[in-house]
Structure 1
Amino acid sequence: MSEKQFFLVREDILTDAMQKTLEVKSLLESGKIKKINEAVHHVGLSRSAYYKYKDGIFPFHTMMKEKIITLSLNLVDRSGSLSQLLSIIAESGANVLTINQSIPLQGRAHITLSINTSSMESDLNQLKLKIEQLEAVEKVELVGSGS
């Protein structure tokens, strides 16, 4: 049997049934609703559609568990900026594996970080948002992931 391929697709591209399947899975995982029948009824999805998609669609952050990701960002060259960035990563439970920082030019440095996300207490979107909120951070991009 050939290995299954995975694709990263924006949420707005998903069909209505796929989006509702994700809602059902979220309701069940959170414990807000205990039974599949109740959850599919709550979101307006048929049981057959749920069973068709449930094993094939996952939020991005769940696919990133047990993974190493690479972030690329631009950081203003200011005392303590890198320290603040690394503190946010440490607070999330992620582990920094590599740091590559360019020499600051025109007051900015480009940084590439490889981090292990398997021990993260929050999801990747929350981590990215916290990093983007740092005053010294100008741009954050997820540029790669792998085992």
Structure 2
Amino acid sequence: MDEAKSERYYLVREDILPEALVKTIQAKEMLAAGEAKTVHEAADRAGLSRSAFYKYKDGIHPLSKLDRERIVTISMDLLHRSGILSKVLAVIAGLDGNVLTIHQTIPLQGKANVVLSVETSNMGDNVVRLLDAIRGQDGVARATVIGQG
């Protein structure tokens, strides 16, 4: 990968961050807590321009949030029978997983490929237990992790 295009991350103490970055975090926290209803209101209360907020909002996150968010991507082949995907989703929910995205192909030769992105931060990152539970469901022909972050 071209180094100019690769993402690099740093752990930086708040007191040495530029003021605009600190205020961006403050505005994001107000929005997340419901203390501000709009970006305009949050930016105004934090003493930040909206353009600065939009410039930095996707690039700065509290370390505690990044540490908690764990997303695993699972690819599965499911038999083309009613209710199988629903049962898999129930298993994930029962283990405190949160399904973020679902992509399913049209069934061919009696099987459909389904790719799920699952937030596992409330599961203690026990991906093996999750996979075992999914594989144990009737109608799941294959389940494997294809990405983790």
Q: For the superposition of Structure 1 and Structure 2, which TM-score range results when normalised by the shorter chain?
A: 0.5 to 0.7
Matched, 1:138 2:135: no
The count of corresponding residues between Structure 1 and Structure 2 is: 85
Equivalence for 1:106:
109
Structure 1: where are the runs of 5+ without partners?
A: 4-63
Over residues 54-85 of structure 1, what are the superposed CA-to-partner deviations in whole Å (9 max), with x where a residue is unaligned?
Answer: xxxxxxxxxx9631110001000101101000
Equivalence for 2:21:
none
- One of 81, 94, 100 as aligned partner of 1:78: 81
| Separation in structure 1 between the aligned mates of residue 80 and residue 137 of structure 2, nearest angstrom | 13
Structure 2: where are the runs of 5+ without partners?
A: 1-7, 10-66
Give the drift of 1:133. 0.7
- Amino acid of the residue matched to residue 109 of structure 1? A
Over residues 86-131 of structure 1, what are the superposed CA-to-partner deviations in whole Å (9 max), with x where a residue is unaligned?
Answer: 0000001010000000001111000000010001267111111010
Matched, 1:89 2:126: no
| Separation in structure 2 between the aligned mates of residue 113 and residue 125 of structure 1, nearest angstrom | 15
4+ residue segments displaced more than 4 Å: none
- Amino acid of the residue matched to residue 123 of structure 2? M
* C-alpha contact 1:92 1:122 (8 A) present in aligned 2: no
Q: State percent identity of aligned pairs.
A: 41
* C-alpha contact 2:92 2:98 (8 A) present in aligned 1: yes
Question: What CA RMSD, in Å, does the superposition of the two structures yield over aligned residues?
Answer: 2.1
